[in-house]
A and B are shown apart, each in its own frame.
Chain A
């Protein structure tokens, strides 16, 4: 039985602040460890009402906006980084900083180094563990290739070149079909 539980049952427990009988047993979550407080009604009231605003843990959106302004960079570096554009979807790093959304899966490769500090800050890690697709994992390159091919396929369809379109379609199917051990 933990200390708090005992405290709950102990009628003679003294308030930790003034030695009157403690009737409130409060678990303080703000410290690194959970802290059990045993207080009388008056002290509990003042404790609960004051709150504690000295702590300032960052909110995820703040983390992002802070991280997205790489402070260590010079203005020139930043301008250069901002101007960087993904060749697949065309999004610039500046646009990403503004909107907080990437333009395509390839951005994780293309802006890889630039995103790293952000990932570390938000997740505390930069390596996935956990579930993986069961069918063979297409590497990022072939995923990029898929986007490229789909775009191409659409262009040739617009030109009514369906022969070419069917070739591209088969190429797409081949890439998508790679790896699936399935049916």
Chain B
């Protein structure tokens, strides 16, 4: 555990801990009547409302959680360059494209994400209560301290279903014990392209770690979530250790595969990334139907890898950043609405409008790159 947490990079995206908890007074969800579900909801909500810290937590359904997780993928630092110091350069590069200060500062957007507070919970999904803490770094120890503190507070309000022998009792026996899933979201396109990913995934299982495609079974966009397989018989620290230990190995493996690919066909990769960028700019990012979502993720994957491998030009990277900023703002809007924070929602709406007016879709080499109209005076922020 002495290791310094790994910083996110072009391969490691984010980390998460999730706890499954059930209230002792009720059957599990599958056998609950509608009335009982409502009752569970009100018991949990009342418990949360009784605690000043818990009442600040965000209640999110799965759709909203997905929107949140997508934010991580869009994080500027993850697409700008493999080295982190370039982040500043990109953000501060107020070149011709950076028309006015009212345009959201891409770096600021990432920093603004309230990840620290973004502990969230859901009610009545597979278990009565699931608490989630996301982090944009890999400090899973910190995530554990945070989620455990939240758990303590919930527990002072509600009686958990718990047994000395089996720990926290969950609807699915695969989660019983700690009820904890520790996971790291990783982008492994080169392992997929070189056909090694299945082999790697199988080998992980022997180390008691599972990797699943993050966006659907087919791992759309080559995003994988690596998590602990067992939840019973190991304490929380050991589970964290188990998952964390795998990450550097996967990074190394992916890097080797990338190096291999680039030596094989650098130009092909560059073209793929550039074409994906053009395609993504044409796609309707708000279209939530699954097919276009898959298209978006595929494009994102190619672009991320292209940027991570230094195959895209700076101008392209700037366009990517604008594009991702827009997607990010839209996702933040979803979250703001879920939190009923309408003040923030209206601010976000204005920033999105400003950015859209800015002609970000155009190719940076076009002469007309500067936004048609300067953004509204009172526009945003």
Contact = CB atoms under 8 A, between A and B. Distances in A.
Whether both chains belong to one complex is answered with yes
Contacts of B310: none
B198 interface: yes
A119 to B, nearest CB: 6
A45 B156 CA distance: 58
Contacts of A115: 173
Interface string B293-316: 000000000000000000000000
Interface string A124-158: 11111111111101111001001100100010000
Interface residues of A, number: 69
Contacts of A49: 194-195
Contact of B230 (A41, A56, A124, A140): A124
B169 A108 contact: yes
Contacts of B232: 119, 122-123, 125-128
A38 to B, nearest CB: 11
**What bracket does the count of chain B residues touching chain A fall in?**
35 or more
A57 B28 contact: no
A60 B229 contact: yes
Q: Label chain A's interface by main secondary structure.
A: loop
Contacts of B24: 105, 138, 143, 146-147, 176
B163 interface: yes
B202 A123 contact: no
B198 A53 contact: yes
B173 A128 contact: no
A151 B17 CA distance: 34
Interface of B: 22, 24-31, 35, 126, 148, 151-152, 155-156, 159-169, 171-174, 176-178, 180, 194-196, 198-200, 202-206, 208, 210, 229-236, 249, 252-253, 256-257, 259-260, 263-264
Given A48-B260, A123-B231, A124-B230, 8 more contacts: A41-B260, A55-B203, A64-B174, A103-B28, A109-B163, A122-B230, A128-B166, A130-B180
